[in-house]
Amino acid sequence: MNTESKKDQVIEKIFKICEKKKDFTFHNDMVKDVCKKIGFGNPFDVTKLDNKTKLPSILLKNDYAIIHLGSGFHRFIKGINKVFHEFEPIQKKINWKYKKSLLNQYNTSESNILSVANNQRILHNFLFGKDMEFNDVDILKRPKTYFPHRTKTSFEYNIGKKTKVEINNIQIEVDLTIEFQGNIGVFEGKNGTPDSFSIYQIYHPFLYYYNANKQTELKGKIKSIYGIYVVRERIKENDVIKLWAYTFENPTDMTTIKFVKSASYKLINENI
């Protein structure tokens, strides 16, 4: 009896088909066909594996992960650690006093996590290293926040020395962007703290702005780009916001992810 989930069974079947063909690229049409045969009702969820714990045993055993190529195509590539990154320990723990707003804990969505952290100036403090004052009349002296958006783009980049990726017309999601004096932070928000994350979640937005700095009206105006992973842990008395900041030593190689810093902010409700 197969004890793996139906989603895992779908991935296993697709992997074996690709292995037999000696072609590890596959399309959503194959995913839908296999899902129908296995009886898994959500084919769009099959390739969404945002941390190592979601990998089925066949991929763990053979050291393969899935990357997205755009236009409905995906590929199994050798080297799980090229695609996923484990979180570093928290370097700094901060008690952050705040006055709880009406909607702070109304829902636990990813956008709400980032909204709370943004409204409480936690993102600014973490990224720019100081409490930002917002009383200045000059808007150019304040960090600017840009809310979630989706965009379609094409990329060329490397995953290590042997794997070149060409992505056509892929949709990327940017949960939140903050810009201050040419320094950009792109944020990915989640609930809870998984053991690892899929690097592309912060790399694709990073590369999007890196390319814009070379090819568009933004050319040469962006000084630095950071990908920041944000999670909220809910505990009985307080919420804790944890952040990890990364950049890429070689902007065109996803495996050159470089840890910059980490911190946690324990929200101390002054309304109590």
87-105 tens-digit pLDDT: 999 999 999 987 766 555 5
Give the residue among 55, 72, 44, 84 at the shortest CA–CA distance from 201: 84
Domain containing 265 equals: 87-269
Instruction: Report the alpha-carbon distance of residue 112 to residue 105 in Å, rounded.
Output: 8
Instruction: Answer whether residue 158 is part of any domain.
Output: yes
Whether residues 157 and 259 share a domain: the answer is yes
For the ranges 34-43, 106-115, 193-202, 216-225, which has the lowest average pLDDT? 106-115
Whether residues 210 and 192 share a domain: the answer is yes
Name the pLDDT band for 191 (thresholds 50, 70, 90).
confident
Residue 54 has a pLDDT of 93
Give the residue among 211, 209, 199 at the shortest CA–CA distance from 246: 199
In the DSSP assignment, the letter for residue 46 is T
Name the pLDDT band for 133 (thresholds 50, 70, 90).
very low
Three-state SS at 240: strand
Instruction: Answer whether residue 244 is part of any domain.
Output: yes
Which residue, of 83, 100, 115, is where some domain finishes? 83
Instruction: Answer whether residue 1 is part of any domain.
Output: no
Whether residues 172 and 63 share a domain: the answer is no
Residue 139 has a pLDDT of 44
Whether residues 12 and 73 share a domain: the answer is yes
Whether residues 78 and 136 share a domain: the answer is no
Which residue, of 21, 50, 83, is where some domain finishes? 83
Which residue, of 83, 106, 121, is where some domain finishes? 83
Q: Which residues contact 46 (CB under 8 A, 6 or more apart)?
A: 7, 10, 11, 14, 31, 35, 40
Q: Burial letters for 22-33: b for 16+ Cβ neighbours within 10 Å, e otherwise?
A: eebebebebbbb
Whether residues 100 and 41 share a domain: the answer is no
Domain count, the chain: 2
pLDDT tens digits, residue range 16-52? 999 999 999 999 999 999 999 999 999 999 999 999 9
Name the pLDDT band for 210 (thresholds 50, 70, 90).
very high
Whether residues 41 and 164 share a domain: the answer is no
